[in-house]
Amino acid sequence: MKTSIKSKLFLITYGIILAFVLGLIILNNTFLEKYYIRTRERSLLEAFSDVSKVEVYDEDLSQIVYEIEKDYNVDIQILKELLSTENPFEEGVITRLPPPYVRLYGNQFSINDGIISDIMLEFKNQVDGFTSDQVKPIDVGDDNLAYLMEINVKENDRDNEFQLLSLCVAIPQNNQLNHYYILTVTVQSIRDSVAVFNGFTIVIGFIFMIISGALMYFISYRFTNPLLQINQVAKAIANMNFENKVDVQSNDEFGDLGRNINLMSTQLEASIRELQLANAKLANDIELKNKIDAMRKEFIANASHELKTPISLILGYCEALKLPDLDKATSEEYLNIIMDESNKMNRLVMQLLKISQLESGFTEPQISQFPIKDLIDETIRFFSILFEEKQVILQINSGDEEVESDFDQLQTVLTNFIANALHHLDESRLIRIDCLEETDGWLKIIVFNSGKNIPESEMERIWESFYKVDKARTRSYGGQGLGLSIAKTTLLNLGHRYGVKNEPGGVAFYFEIKKKNQTIND
């Protein structure tokens, strides 16, 4: 059987209220009386702590003790023990204050003599070694004897019986007699309070359940009516009918749900229309795939071409070495050519392997902190002989900024930039390395060489593998067009920015790195 949300809300609310009321009554009956008695026991102890500090012969004793009684809502009696050889408790039931004791504070109208006698009799029994379940010793300090006891008291003129919670403390004096402090509170009032509170809880719970019933009927209607409307619209959407909309009349969660349903309906309708355009996008994706395949084939063709030339030369000179009439000088020349071409192939294979490792993420960066000047100086030393041979005019403008990156991989990048600059120098023969601090916390390292500008149409393609702007010039120095591709992949893996720009009289390649303690957010 299907249960409506309205019924569920009503039953759940009533169940929670009923469980709360019953739980409160059970807790009250189980723990409230014990808790209240413990609280009153602490009040008796705190009241004794205050009254014990008052000198019993102080002329303001009555006023001070009266204030303590009001503060803690207890009755206090202070007795003085007199020297006597008689046992005042041999007579049985005692209804007057025994002769060995006189009141220093208190009167029989607040606690009558019979109650005082019962308390003193229980105290004496405890001192004499008798035990009782209603009496327990308690520590009040200074080695004073003290007992907490529950005393059942029966009124003389009626059959009513009530119970007192009493603290009796004996404080020895210099004459080996005692002063007795008796503090009492009525236990029956505690039980009456618990009963009244339980009755009040039941009445309030019953009234609250009646009121909540009326409120829940109204709330459940307001709660379920929007849901029914939303359900109808959702069914229409499931049947591909997007004309119906939820009538949003509130600014709460139901209003948000209605607006979202309307938004979903609108977006679904638009998505269906957009689905008709998916074929065109799919065609573009196929075209892109074909383009990637073409690039892959071109890459393979370029690699094959770069390997074909040295292999052909090596095979040709190897055949020539078989000729019987070769002299030693010619043989050594042929061998040198073979070694040179072999080294070219080795460099090509190593560069291809380097690109593959970088693109696959196989090479893990070894991050460290170092001055950028050390990177530039150490890389420049690799080219010192070439600079002298080509009579390069070298200008370096670098500071002592600390950076955090992979030293070896950055050195590879800088090496490729400088090697590229060497290969494209004009008659000015100027190479300049600048280190500039950007406003956003990046450090830009620029390698400029004097020479021809790069055509704008080829700016992006120079980073591709095997791409060569000036193929004749590249053949003259034996380049394969892989250096800039390796530099680009390395910088991408390290998270550094890079680029190239034409400047008056030459070209500047650059990369940017965050300074030490800067976080890369770009």
Short-list 418, 435, 421, 406, CA closest to 380: 418
Helices (H), 168-322: 188-238, 253-275, 278-321
102-121 pLDDT per residue, tens: 888 887 777 777 888 888 88
Between the two ends of the chain, the Cα-to-Cα distance in Å is 59
Measured between alpha carbons, how far is 37 from 185 in angstroms, rounded to an integer? 10
If we measure between CA atoms, which residue out of 149, 139, 84 comes closest to residue 115? 149
Supply the pLDDT for residue 94.
47
What is the per-residue burial (b if ≥16 Cβ within 10 Å, else e) of 61-75?
beebbeebbeebebb
Predicted confidence band at 310 (pLDDT cuts at 50, 70, 90)? low
Confidence of residue 159 (pLDDT cuts 50, 70, 90): low
DSSP class of residue 452? Answer: P
At residue 79, the 3 state secondary structure works out as strand
Poorest-pLDDT segment among 242-251, 288-297, 322-331, 441-450: 288-297
Predicted local confidence at residue 92, as pLDDT:
47
Q: What pLDDT is attached to residue 411? A: 86
Whether the per-residue pLDDT at 203 is higher than 90: the answer is no
**Which of these, 41, 72, 76, lies nearest to 61 by C-alpha position?**
76
The stretch 291-313 carries a mean pLDDT of: 63
Q: Average pLDDT, stretch 383-407?
A: 87
Query: In the predicted model, what is the mean pLDDT of residues 238-256?
Result: 76
Closest CA to 106 of 93, 90, 119, 94: 119
The pLDDT of residue 357 is 61
CB atoms within 10 A of CB 226: 20
Residue 156 has pLDDT above 60, yes or no: no
Per-residue pLDDT, averaged over 329-343, amounts to: 78
CA distance 466 to 447: 21
Long-range contacts, stretch 29-33, CB < 8 angstroms, 24+ apart: 29/194, 29/198, 32/194, 32/197, 33/190, 33/191, 33/194
Lowest-confidence segment of 12-26, 272-286, 375-389 by average pLDDT: 12-26
| Length of the chain in terms of residues written | 522
pLDDT value, residue 345: 67
- List pLDDT tens digits, range 457-505: 888 888 886 676 555 444 444 555 677 887 888 888 888 889 999 999 9
pLDDT above 70: percentage of residues in the chain: 81
In this structure, are residues 375 and 407 in contact, taking their beta carbons and an 8 Å threshold?
yes
pLDDT exceeds cutoff 70 at 296: no
Q: Which domains does the chain have, with CATH numbers?
A: 52-186 (no CATH), 290-360 (1.10.287.130), 367-514 (3.30.565.10)
Q: What is the mean pLDDT of residues 353-381?
A: 78
Task: HSE, CB side, 13 Å, CA atoms: give it for residue 463.
Answer: 15
Note the pTM of the prediction, 2 decimals.
Answer: 0.41
Indicate the burial class of 518 (C-beta count within 10 angstroms; 0-12, 13-18, 19 or more): middle
For position 110, what pLDDT does the model report? 75
Residue 398 three-state SS: coil
**Residue 292 pLDDT grade (very low, low, confident, very high; cuts 50, 70, 90):** low
User: CA angle, 24 as apex, 22 and 28 as ends, to 5°?
Assistant: 120
pLDDT at position 215 is 78
Question: 348: pLDDT confidence band, cut at 50, 70 and 90?
Answer: low
Task: Encode 264-299 in three state secondary structure.
Answer: HHHHHHHHHHHHCCHHHHHHHHHHHHHHHHHHHHHH
What pLDDT score was predicted for residue 93? 45
According to the model, what pLDDT value does residue 434 have? 92
The answer to whether residue 507 scores a pLDDT higher than 60 is yes
Enumerate helices (H) and strands (E) in the chain, giving the number of each: 13, 13
The residue-averaged pLDDT of 358-380 equals: 80
* pLDDT band at residue 511 using 50, 70 and 90 as cut-offs: very high
**Residue type (1 letter), 472:** A
**Most confidently modeled of 114-123, 146-155, 165-174, 350-359?**
165-174
Confidence band (pLDDT; 50, 70, 90) for 508? very high
510, containing H or E segment: strand 506-514
Q: What percent of the chain has pLDDT over 90?
A: 8
pLDDT (0 to 100) of residue 133? 82
Rounded Cα gap, residues 169 and 356, in angstroms: 94
- In this model, does residue 448 exceed pLDDT 90? yes
